[in-house]
Amino acid sequence: MQVLVASNRGPVSFGRAEDGTLTMRRGGGGLVSGLASVAAGTDLLWVCAALSDADRTAARQDPEGRLDKAGHDTGAVRMLDIPEQTFHRAYNSIANSTLWFVHHLLYATPTAPHFDATFRRDWQAYSAYNAAFAGALGQDAEPGAKVVVQDYHLSLVPGMLREARPDLRIAHFSHTPWAPPAYFRLLPDDIGIAILEGMLGADHLGFLCERWAEAFLACCDEILGARIDPVAGTVTYRGRTTRVGVHALGVDGPELRERAGQADVAERIAGLREQVGDRQLILRIDRTELSKNIVRGLAAYWELLLNHPEWRGRVVHLAFAYPSRTDLPEYRAYTAAVERLAAEINDEFGTEDWTPLILQVKDDYARSLAAYQLADVLVVNPIRDGMNLVAKEGPVLSEKGCALVLSREAGAAAELSDDALVVNPFDVSQTAETLNQALLLSGDDRRNRTKRLADAATALPPGRWFAEQLAALD
Amino acid sequence: MQVLVASNRGPVSFGRAEDGTLTMRRGGGGLVSGLASVAAGTDLLWVCAALSDADRTAARQDPEGRLDKAGHDTGAVRMLDIPEQTFHRAYNSIANSTLWFVHHLLYATPTAPHFDATFRRDWQAYSAYNAAFAGALGQDAEPGAKVVVQDYHLSLVPGMLREARPDLRIAHFSHTPWAPPAYFRLLPDDIGIAILEGMLGADHLGFLCERWAEAFLACCDEILGARIDPVAGTVTYRGRTTRVGVHALGVDGPELRERAGQADVAERIAGLREQVGDRQLILRIDRTELSKNIVRGLAAYWELLLNHPEWRGRVVHLAFAYPSRTDLPEYRAYTAAVERLAAEINDEFGTEDWTPLILQVKDDYARSLAAYQLADVLVVNPIRDGMNLVAKEGPVLSEKGCALVLSREAGAAAELSDDALVVNPFDVSQTAETLNQALLLSGDDRRNRTKRLADAATALPPGRWFAEQLAALD
């Protein structure tokens, strides 16, 4: 049976060695590892976009962007060389500056979004970018093949593909939240409709938790007037029925533990132990993304130190805030706000022999894996998040048990809220008090909670998560 | 039968004459004129807050703030002298900077709201301010009296009053939209619950349109787990049932026309005719309020002039943007953005003998009434609005017929959308094209639409709107 996967970012990317030759790197993330585990027994083709100059060079070595199979374990790859301006408009302006903002409720509504002629031009690029994917998939799919389309970048692909190839079995998976109708309505009417209709071209639509699936169904109801069966989880629209399912992507425990046991991680552990000493360690790991709520998280730490002076000198907050979308001005301003507040905390509370907050902005995966193992408290407080895998990786790697402070607005809260300490991410004072509770949890309590959290976090590893979606197409 | 009304702003306010003596002024607005029309046959007491130094001086002339009845037609008034700091925190920080923002979806969520210790302090003030109202009402209400509480400033009053005086018949009316649950959840959990429970102390809750009533019911369902009967429009919670009703406040046609026929208005009409000449007049009248969407409205005018050069020199846009909440930095920044864009439009398109846009920021009610009579197109494009009375006043006063461009996110759209040209307020391009359509509407079409719009706008004048709410308490 043939399976095609479509996603903006592919399983491999290219760089250049010092001598100028192309070098290939296998990507990380749940999708790649999920695919790798089913690729062996399957006729698999992955369609993705060239994201960099090196990617483009590699893609152009074949007229249709088919990559050499050697050197990766994720089946055949076709990398689309979409014109740079089209790609930029589709990816930055529409996907990341519009759809991402809508689904995460990020807009400062008095002035944004601002849907003008420039936006319409960019939307045309998004359509063209989706059409390029649909064209490639339609060309390469054998009769009756299964196609699994990924995420908000490609919301129009299912509809376009259905039109061209009604024989295919099409799934789409959303890695983001879905906006409630009152917020989805911000989109221009024709564009909101196009997105919902595009999605409904699929036979099966996957979401990370019930809340996002329900929000999607509510949009189909209110905006399209489609017939919803909330019990069966189906949408019927223009004579076709689409099933909506929840597949709560988890982590692959053995793979993660294996990686975390390697020498580079052990070296980072030694370094961190020295920095933290015998203090309790509060950890957060995020991309510096507007939805991750780093500023309020640091403000809560401030309020903790202010209201509970007994913790001063006895705790260290390690905040890894890795760069994200630094080409967008909102993100640069947000990064500056994080750095400013971090400096203010150290200025206000720091002493000769105690630095309350250590902010690291340089991405270092091995150091993240090291910190997970040492943390006493892990803070995951996004204002809205499809799932949040940090909340799942932490418990799996914790050595001695780690209290998880978790936003109720993360998809992960659906599975983890029994054993996490759940917060409203907008409520800084509540978050501060919850940090205090987390620091006070007994070792036994932490260990027991962490064990149950790790079980929940590994309940649906990427391979089974992907297999579920394929099975849903039978 | 005794009727008590409670609202932040009362029916009268005080100023000072040049010799320092207090002068009293009767307020405008639907509530005051609604009350005036029922005051005659009723034992009426209006409880309100002192808003200025002059108000406080007047209120202190009686130990309980009871005003002399002479000089106003709205029954007895008791003006509460709430401590200035308490009032400031309750009114500015909670009511206008939090609840207003929640119900209008105005937050830039990555950094606001930020519910910290300062917010908690201000919330205590809001509770105290509500308790002051509840105390005064409880003290003055005769057994079984009807109490009608107004708006988001006083959301806790029904619950407080119910506790103290279970014999009373209590209504509450919301002049704002109501937030959908996904946005209402931003509030700290205990505070969101307190507001809903406070409201449910009433026997009857009034909203301006179905959408806001439904959003309130959805909040009661999702946040309180209350039992909702959407058909009957009731919420049952902790053994009590509250009815939810829609009372679509309209304008008093005869009163408005009478005022608009006075000499000061006639004088303004002459002045405006001179400014506009034989060009078509596009009018907007707003407070410079973040929800009113003035920036996108002006941007749409820009796009109209850009894409339809045939209108250059043949149209004038008169924008009245009256000062609002200038003590809040967001509002000052927004006002500056409006002024900047207005200047840019004139810079880009203006000629020797044509000023495309005339922005007036000084409040002048008579000039507003004059402009309504002359307008060819009236633009009302809020991003979210409880009702919007400009959309209702315009058709009532139009002389020759006026095309109404109306946001679908205004409560008024529920009644006016058949004859208005409805826009998505975030869609600048669509708004620009709709302005073009509005300018092209034939005189006959405009007249017929305007007549029907005026009928709808006057369907429930303030007196009957208030009487409906009293009747709902029987």
Under DSSP, the state recorded for A68 is P
pLDDT in tens, A75-129: 899 999 999 999 999 999 999 999 999 999 999 999 999 999 999 999 999 999 9
Nearest CA in chain B to A222: B211
List CB contacts (< 8 A) between B115 and chain A.
Answer: 424, 426-430
pLDDT at B70 over 70: no
The answer, yes or no, to whether residue B30 has pLDDT greater than 70, is no
CB contact under 8 A, B215 and A108: no
Strand A240-246 with A234-237, pairing: antiparallel
Measured CB to CB, residues of chain B less than 8 Å from chain A are 105-111, 113-117, 119-120, 180-183, 185-189, 215, 290-291, 293, 295-296, 299, 303, 306-307, 330, 334, 337, 383, 409, 424, 426-430
CB contact under 8 A, B426 and A115: yes
Residue type (1 letter), A136: A
Please name the amino acid found at residue A205.
L
Q: What is the pLDDT of residue A252?
A: 94
User: Are the C-beta atoms of B410 and B382 separated by less than 8 Å?
Assistant: yes
pLDDT at A39: 66
Per-residue pLDDT tens over the stretch A55-76:
999 999 999 999 977 666 678 9
| Dist. CA B230–CA B244, nearest whole Å | 9
pTM equals 0.95
CA A410 – CA A389 distance, rounded (Å): 10
A108 to chain B, minimum CA–CA distance in Å?
Answer: 4
According to the model, what pLDDT value does residue B72 have?
65
pLDDT at site B325: 87
CB contacts, 8 Å: B123 with chain A: none
Give pLDDT tens digits for B156-204. Answer: 999 999 999 999 999 999 999 999 999 999 999 999 999 999 999 999 9
| Full pLDDT tens readout for chain A, 474 residues | 899 999 999 999 999 999 989 999 888 766 777 777 776 677 899 999 999 999 999 999 999 999 977 666 678 999 999 999 999 999 999 999 999 999 999 999 999 999 999 999 999 999 999 999 999 999 999 999 999 999 999 999 999 999 999 999 999 999 999 999 999 999 999 999 999 999 999 999 999 999 999 999 999 999 999 999 999 999 999 999 999 999 999 999 999 999 999 999 999 999 999 999 999 999 999 999 999 999 999 999 999 999 999 999 999 999 999 998 888 888 999 999 999 999 999 999 999 999 999 999 999 999 999 999 999 999 999 999 999 999 999 999 999 999 999 999 999 999 999 999 999 999 999 999 999 999 999 999 999 999 999 999 999 999 999 999 999 999
The pLDDT value recorded for residue A326 is 86
- Integer Rg of chain A from CA: 23
Domains of chain B: residue spans and CATH: 2-249+463-471 (3.40.50.2000), 253-457 (3.40.50.2000)
- Let me know if B140 is exposed, middle or buried by CB neighbors in 10 A (0-12, 13-18, 19+): middle
B337–A111: do the CB atoms touch at under 8 Å?
yes
Q: What local confidence, expressed as pLDDT, does residue B414 receive? A: 98
Largest CA distance in chain B: 71
pLDDT tens digits, B248-265: 999 999 999 999 999 999
| pLDDT value for A421 | 98
Q: B30-39 and B462-471 helices cross at what angle (nearest 10)? A: 70
B99, B428, B433, B434: best to mutate for the A interface, most A CBs within 10 A: B428
When CB atoms are compared, the residue of A116, A187, A430 closest to B188 is A430
Q: What share of chain B in percent tops pLDDT 90?
A: 92
Interface list for chain A against chain B, based on CB atoms closer than 8 Å: 105-111, 113-117, 119-120, 180-183, 185-189, 215, 290-291, 293, 295-296, 299, 303, 307, 330, 334, 337, 383, 409, 424, 426-430
Contact B257, B372 (CB under 8 A): no
- What is the ipTM for the molecules in this complex? 0.93
Q: Which residue has the tokens 């905006």?
A: A223
Largest CA distance in chain A: 71
Residues belonging to chain A: 474
Average pLDDT over residues B403-426: 98
**A with B: how many residue pairs have Cβ under 8 Å apart?**
121
| Phi, then psi, of B189 in degrees rounded to 5 | -55, -50
Contact B189 A430 (CB under 8 A): yes
Q: Using an 8 Å CB-CB cutoff, list chain B residues near A213.
A: none
pLDDT tens, residue by residue, B76-116: 999 999 999 999 999 999 999 999 999 999 999 999 999 99
Q: Are B112 and B98 in contact (CB under 8 A)?
A: no
Q: What is the DSSP letter of B142?
A: P
Q: By the 8 A CB rule, do B282 and B316 touch?
A: yes
Residues B166 and B207 sit within 8 Å (Cβ to Cβ):
no
Q: From the centroid of its chain, how far is CA B348?
A: 34
Cis preceding linkage at A143, omega within 30 = no
